[in-house]
């Protein structure tokens, strides 16, 4: 199955010059969704890891089923104010402002090997925040897996050497 053909692109959304890669057509197609999950799972085969951390909201779509498939725990990385307990937080810059990612302080234990899963690697800001929080909590990011990487935005450069894998690249 060609996942790029299963996906649709919206030119000039949300601003002129941007080619928005819309995953909703993959999500509504059971064969395409299963194929995407299989391709992402293949990037984790044989890897020694303890837990998957994924940011809201589209990271949840892929992170939770992958965690279940590998018999691992799942940790949601949420926007500020969405988690009820004590959190570790990190602010990052967006194109038009800032945002904050939080993870419960007891969600990642010292020494745990962490995989980050998300739908998209663009500038790398979200994934970098998660890496920083995981390190603060004593864990180590051993790999990051994305459905899509937008290479021209340089997210890979921001993340350094954490074993980045992407199923599709644009």
Residues 6+ apart with CB under 8 A from 26: 3, 6, 7, 32, 33, 36, 147
Which one is catalytic: 91, 95, 109, 151? 95
Instruction: Indicate if 58 belongs to the active site.
Output: yes
Beta strands in the chain (DSSP E): 8-11, 19-22, 51-55, 73-79, 87-94, 97-104, 113-121, 140-149, 164-169
Which one is catalytic: 58, 69, 136, 156? 58
Instruction: Indicate if 151 belongs to the active site.
Output: no
| Order of all β-strands in the sheet with 140-149 | 87-94, 97-104, 73-79, 51-55, 113-121, 140-149, 164-169
Active-site residue list: 58, 95
């Amino acid at each position: 199955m060609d996942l790029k053909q299963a996906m649709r692109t919206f030119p000039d959304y949300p601003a002129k010059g941007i080619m928005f890669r819309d995953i909703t057509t993959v999500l509504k197609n059971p064969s395409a969704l299963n194929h995407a999950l299989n391709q992402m799972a293949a990037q984790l085969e044989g890897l020694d890891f303890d837990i998957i951390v994924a940011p809201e909201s589209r990271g949840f779509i892929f992170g939770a089923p992958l965690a279940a498939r590998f018999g691992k725990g799942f940790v949601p990385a949420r926007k500020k104010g969405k988690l009820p307990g004590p959190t570790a937080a990190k602010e990052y810059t967006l194109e038009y402002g800032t945002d904050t990612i939080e993870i419960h302080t007891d969600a990642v234990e010292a020494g745990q090997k962490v995989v980050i899963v998300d739908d998209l690697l663009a500038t790398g800001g979200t994934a970098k925040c998660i890496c920083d929080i995981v390190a603060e909590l004593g864990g180590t990011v051993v790999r990051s897996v994305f459905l899509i990487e937008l290479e021209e935005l340089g997210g890979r450069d921001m993340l350094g050497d954490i074993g980045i894998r992407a199923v599709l690249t644009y």
